[in-house]
Amino acid sequence: MAAEVAQLLLSVIQGIPGGATNDDLTKALSDMPAATRVEGLNILLQQGGIEVLKKGEKLIYRAKDPQKKSALPKDADNEEKIVYSIVEEGGNKGIWIRDIRIKSNLNMTQLNKILKNLETKKLIKAVKSVNASKKKVYMLYNLEADRSVTGGAWYQDQDFEVEFVDVLNQQCLRFLQMKRETAEKKRDGPLAFKQMSCCSVKDVHKFISDLGISKVNLDEDDLETILKTVVYDGNAERILQSDGAYVYRAVNMPLPAPGLVQMPCGICPVIKNCSDCGDVTAINCQYMKDWLD
Amino acid sequence: MSADYADLCSAILEQCFGKVVQSVADCLFSATTRTLSQIVSSTNFSRKEVGLALSVLIKFRLVNFEPSKSNAYLPEYSLRREDVICLLRYSRYIHLVQSKYGNVGASIAEELLNSGSDTATSILLKCLSNGENKSETAESYKNILLKMIADHYIIKSPELITSEEGDDLVPRFLTNECDFFVPPIIDLQLLAKIQKGESTLSNAQDSAMVWHLNYDRFHQEFRDDIMKIAIERKLGENAAECFRFILNIMYNTTDPWQRRVSNQVTYVEIKQTIERKSNNLDLLKHLDQYIALITDDSLGFLRKVGDMGGGQYVVDMESSFESLAFACVESVITERFGSKAARIFRVIRFKKFIEQEDLQKEAMIPAKEAKSLAYNLFQEQFIHVKVIKKAGGGGSGPAKAFYLFQIKTKDTVRMLLDVCYKALYNIIRRSNFEKSEHKGLIEKSQRLDSIVETMKERGESEDYIAEIVETFTPPECEILNKVKHRIKTLSKAELTLDDTIFLLQMYQHHCTTLPTGIQKFK
């Protein structure tokens, strides 16, 4: 009897997508006494079929998405449900354990137990953030962590992959230089040469994908960051096209190595302390001695 | 003017003119102006010695004097600090003249540099009596000298004003701009007479006209070379040739030392000049493209400002030397801190202001490494930090502030320039040290050389000469070679280091409003 009432109520509530108020229910099921209705609603709430929201002074009953509901097993208790929903709200950015505690108002030991429970059931997972290595965030098991948490393609676990970036940097530069060299061979005038030596991010992306040096899938944005580092190394130029996109081309340094760095003083780490007296002087300088002999 | 530059000047002057001049110049360096008695009392040399030192400095145009404001009979001396470093560039000046005017020009420049300033007749006389180029006639010397004056490499010193008010007044000079490059009258017959000893120098007509090398003209040539080489490295030879013509056209209408940008040059002018003077077909064919290439390049040498005459362009000295000076700063950073640090430096330069966290993301360098590199650069004053405080910290809780990295371009360049001065000073000091350490050995070898020379002239037997040479033992010989090698390395480094100094000085001239050594005709 009670289950039938619950089904009836659920179908009414599902019929109103914005959620049904008490008035809606009395109107739709005018023959049902208030006590039976309350009993039915309670059953639904317990099963997790609906949720109660407050709009102004009125209570609204809304049907829950059956897909979401199915993730949580039937035997989960109330605390687990609450924690699960908090984690769910966090989305793919994850949520920190302290924030869960504050939101759920549970004590630490209990919360730890629940989280562990949910983890073993493979409902949620803990992900280490790259920004703060000790900070663990929780998110639903089936979600892919956001780039701000994992750091994108450049992070393996939480470690920045220096070698990987360096290799890509070198390969991008090699590609740009190759392009420049092939352009140099054709003699079609200076502007044509310049245009031919320019590469779009797409070209570079194709080259890198064909090389197969990367296990991870790199998109064009990733390569744009790499190309920027090539520019920051002073080996390439970034040129704005008329359509708003950027192209890249390898360039030479405008100056030969300056005279200053051809002698030890230019690269001396203690040049600040160097003077006529004291321990650092031009006369007893070890760098100078090594250089002259 | 920094303490490093003061040390350097002192060392240069000691090397060139000796101790007395050095201490007189040191005394003048630290003050705007000094009177003779002030110098005497602070240097502890006699009045005569100081007077002599001052006259040497005045002859080499390193000291100016003016009557004191309160007393027209009292001269006040001041040091031209910026010119002291030019003493080190003498070999470059001579080299330039030699490549333009051959050996004759080089010997004229050399005589002029050795004497500081001199009359035309006297220079020719010295060149002829030196006789390095016996085959050349007085006529050819005269022609080259006049040509160098016409090309502004040699300039006339201001003439003395003869006043009737009395001889006690401080002498004054007449500076007349139109008069700087008027060719002097040189009497070759008189020159021949003086050579034979039949007449004296005082009979020459031009004894009042004193000439000296025009450093600015040389520096202009050096500066143009830097720019041309930069274009050649980046955009190829043809573009460099094109730019050379643009610079030549620019000088028709622009003072070479105008600070920021030149006056306008039109496309038609460039085209006409190149058609007339160049036979580079590729350049002629693609001229518009080459100009577009230089204009679009990130170095920013050339800028389009209008469409008159097929396009109006200006040579943007400010952005040129900013790019070049920073290319130099960047290579110094690469060598000193590694390429990752240079990357960080460039990121900051591109972004103007950037926070630590964004910096490591943009440069793709692990957080720890990026932090350490950035802080190192900050410690060595290549980069700077701007703190933006948020209002209302109120002393409670942590102060809220943003720390943004930035580059104060002028400060960075000046810091590097000071490092260069210090390095140059170190080279001179080290070189003096090596020389004094092995003084005995060097003198011995010189004595030996001269003995062998005279013996050869006298025609002594080979065996006997060999015996004398052997008094110089192999270990001594080895040490001497080592020392010679060291001194050679040091003087080579001195020259290359001066390239860096010159570049950074050009930055200061074109990109700042600081007073620099360049005045319009000194």
Name B270's Cβ contacts closer than 8 Å, sequence gap at least 6: B242, B245, B246, B249, B287, B291, B313
Q: Is residue B517 part of a domain?
A: no
Q: What sign does the dihedral B466-B468-B469-B470 (CA atoms) show?
A: positive
Q: For residue A236, how many C-alpha atoms fall within 13 Å in the half-sphere facing its CB?
A: 31
CATH number at residue B144: 1.10.10.10
Among residues B315, B331, B363, the one where a domain terminates is B315
pLDDT of residue A68: 54
Q: Is residue B183 part of a domain?
A: yes
Strand A20-21 versus strand A136-140 pairing type: unpaired
Contact B336 A283 (CB under 8 A): no
Residues of B in contact with A269 (CB under 8 A): 336
Q: A240 — contact with chain B (CB < 8 Å)?
A: no
- Which chain A residue lies closest to B361 (C-alpha atoms)? A225
Distance CA B391, CA B231 (A): 49
Q: B420 — contact with chain A (CB < 8 Å)?
A: yes
- Shortest distance between the Cα of B499 and any Cα of chain A, in A, equals 6
Among residues B407, B429, B453, the one where a domain terminates is B407
Question: Which among B249, B149, B273 has a CA at the least distance from the CA of B206?
Answer: B149
Same domain, B273 and B353: no
- Judged against a pLDDT cut of 70, whether residue A131 lies above it is answered with no
Question: Which among B211, B517, B154, B417 has a CA at the least distance from the CA of A258?
Answer: B417
Helix (H, G, I), strand (E, B) or coil at A205: helix
Q: How many domains does the structure of chain B reveal?
A: 5
Residues of B in contact with A236 (CB under 8 A): none
Question: Which among B416, B510, B496 has a CA at the least distance from the CA of B220?
Answer: B510
Which segments in chain B show pLDDT lower than 50?
A: 521-522
Task: Closest CB to B500: pick one of A194, A229, A258.
Answer: A258
Question: Which among B377, B380, B254, B239 has a CA at the least distance from the CA of B317?
Answer: B254
Structure-block tokens of residue B114: 């050795």
Full residue range of the structural domain in which residue B290 is found:
218-315
pLDDT of residue B253: 87
Contact A267 B335 (CB under 8 A): yes
The string over A57-89, giving b where at least 16 C-beta atoms fall within 10 Å of a residue's C-beta and e elsewhere, is eeebbbbeeeeeeeebeeebeeebebbbebbbe
- Which residues are A6's β-sheet partners? none
Q: What is the CA radius of gyration of chain B?
A: 28
> Taking a C-beta distance cutoff of 8 angstroms, is the pair A223, A210 a contact?
no
Same domain, B222 and B247: yes
Q: What are phi and psi of B63, to 5 degrees?
A: -125, 135
Same domain, B109 and B179: yes
Q: What are phi and psi of A188, to 5 degrees?
A: -115, 25
- Which CATH code, of 3.40.50.300, 1.10.10.10, 3.40.50.620, 1.20.1250.20, is assigned to A70-157? 1.10.10.10
- Which chain B residue lies closest to A283 (C-alpha atoms)? B430
To 10 degrees, the CA torsion angle through A196, A200, A204, A209?
-130
pLDDT of residue A104: 82
Distance CA B339, CA B366 (A): 14
> Taking a C-beta distance cutoff of 8 angstroms, is the pair B307, B319 a contact?
no
Contact A265 B422 (CB under 8 A): yes
Residues shown for chain A: 293
Contact A266 B285 (CB under 8 A): no
By percentage, how much of chain A surpasses pLDDT 70?
90
Distance CA B320, CA B302 (A): 8
Residues of A in contact with B486 (CB under 8 A): 292-293
Q: B250 — contact with chain A (CB < 8 Å)?
A: no
Same domain, B428 and B507: yes
pTM of the predicted model over 0.90:
no
- Shortest distance between the Cα of A88 and any Cα of chain B, in A, equals 29
Q: What is the CATH number of domain A162-250?
A: 1.10.10.10
CATH 1.10.10.10 given to domain A2-64: yes
Same domain, B92 and B184: yes
Contact B286 A190 (CB under 8 A): yes
To 10 degrees, the CA torsion angle through B472, B476, B477, B482?
-160
Of the ranges A39-48, A60-69, B169-178, B249-258, the best mean pLDDT one: B249-258
Structure-block tokens of residue B54: 């001052």
Candidates B26, B500, B503: best to mutate against A (most CBs of A within 10 A) is B500
Strand A58-63 versus strand A236-240 pairing type: unpaired
- Shortest distance between the Cα of A56 and any Cα of chain B, in A, equals 37
pLDDT bin (cut points 50, 70, 90) of residue A74 is low
Same domain, B439 and B479: yes
Q: A189 — contact with chain B (CB < 8 Å)?
A: yes
A63-66 contact pairs (CB < 8 A, 24+): A63/A10, A63/A13, A63/A14
Task: Closest CB to B328: pick one of A154, A162, A255.
Answer: A255
Among residues B79, B106, B130, the one where a domain terminates is B79
Interface of A with B in 126-155 (CB under 8 A): 154
pLDDT bin (cut points 50, 70, 90) of residue A4 is confident
Residue type, A211: L
Residues shown for chain B: 522
Q: What are phi and psi of B403, to 5 degrees?
A: -110, 110
Q: Is residue B519 part of a domain?
A: no
- Answer with the residue of higher pLDDT: A38 or B320: B320
Q: Is residue B348 part of a domain?
A: yes
Q: Is residue B516 part of a domain?
A: no
Same domain, B55 and B101: no
Same domain, B177 and B272: no
Q: Is residue B364 part of a domain?
A: yes
Q: Is residue B400 part of a domain?
A: yes
Same domain, B31 and B139: no
Residues of A in contact with B426 (CB under 8 A): 265, 274, 282, 285, 288
Q: Is residue B167 part of a domain?
A: no
Interface of B with A in 335-374 (CB under 8 A): 335-336, 339, 342-343, 346-347, 350, 362-367, 369
Contact A189 B350 (CB under 8 A): no
Task: Closest CB to A254: pick one of B323, B346, B364.
Answer: B323
Report the range of poorest mean pLDDT among A134-143, A173-182, B71-80, B233-242. A134-143
Task: Closest CB to A283: pick one of B230, B422, B433.
Answer: B433
- Which residues are A140's β-sheet partners? A124
Question: Which among A207, A187, A190, A201 has a CA at the least distance from the CA of A249?
Answer: A201
Residues of A in contact with B327 (CB under 8 A): 234, 253-255
Contact A258 B332 (CB under 8 A): yes
Q: What are phi and psi of B309, to 5 degrees?
A: 60, 40
- Shortest distance between the Cα of B369 and any Cα of chain A, in A, equals 10
Distance CA A207, CA A90 (A): 38
Residues of B in contact with A258 (CB under 8 A): 328, 331-332, 499-500, 503
Interface of B with A in 54-113 (CB under 8 A): none
The ipTM value here is: 0.80
Residues of chain A with CATH 1.10.10.10: 2-64, 70-157, 162-250
- Answer with the residue of higher pLDDT: A126 or A248: A248
Same domain, B179 and B249: no
